[in-house]
A and B are shown apart, each in its own frame.
Chain A
Amino acid sequence: DVKVTQSSRYLVKRTGEKVFLECVQDMDHENMFWYRQDPGLGLRLIYFSYDVKMKEKGDIPEGYSVSREKKERFSLILESASTNQTSMYLCASFPGTENYGYTFGSGTRLTVV
């Protein structure tokens, strides 16, 4: 089975800190995605990547950046964390061909204090 691993389940960071959320997939998928999940808002796409060193903005990229230096790893960066970035962050991957949908990681619950 494809596995998508997010490095931390829970994180607490201070306002203004630079925060790195890491995501690794083990099935050579081209496509990787970062979503944030908030009650009543569902999942909103922050950034995605279709290939190494390639990135595209999603619907809510402000305050975030991403890095994809290797195919298996897709990092989400909060340049200067703010309290409104407290959320659940979900990473997903997808091979780019007809399949059974995205594979999601277990999520990182980030609290910014």
Chain B
Amino acid sequence: GDSVTQMEGPVTLSEEAFLTINCTYTATGYPSLFWYVQYPGEGLQLLLKATKADDKGSNKGFEATYRKETTSFHLEKGSVQVSDSAVYFCALSEGETSGSRLTFGEGTQLTVNP
């Protein structure tokens, strides 16, 4: 079945450091890929998405590129802020649209220190 694997956490960085959170997936078809973020005490929010190979999703300074050849969708940000401290989830959907059921990775806790 489908699966998503994220890099082990937690990740602790200083403000303005470069962030990479690795995500790889296994899927039978051509999934859509997502990054969700969960701030303390809140539900998940969609951060960015990509629906086909070589697409780049971007939002709030975060980027991720859909790499079919390496089945990866790594999340990057050039300069993190304290306010980026949160849990980040990589997810995929096999549906043709952005919907149908989502399969999530384990989540990566990011802490950014001033």
Residues of A within 8 A of B (CB): 4, 31, 33, 35, 40-45, 48, 58, 90, 92, 94-102, 104-107
* B12 contacts A by Cβ under 8 Å: no
Task: Determine if B79 is an interface residue (Cβ-Cβ < 8 Å).
Answer: no
Could you tell me if A98 and B98 are in contact, using CB atoms closer than 8 angstroms? yes
**Residue pair B99, A94 in contact (C-beta under 8 Å):** yes
Say yes or no for B44: interface residue by CB 8 A criterion.
Answer: yes
B41-A106 in contact (CB<8A) = yes
Interface size in chain B (residues, C-beta < 8 A): 20
Are A42 and B43 in touch, CB under 8 angstroms?
no
- When A and B form their complex, what is the total count of cross-chain residue pairs whose Cβ atoms lie within 8 Å? 60
Whole-angstrom distance between the Cβ of A8 and the nearest chain B Cβ: 14
Q: Does B46 contact A (CB under 8 A)?
A: yes
B99 touching A105 by the CB < 8 A rule? Answer: no
B19 within 8 A of A: no
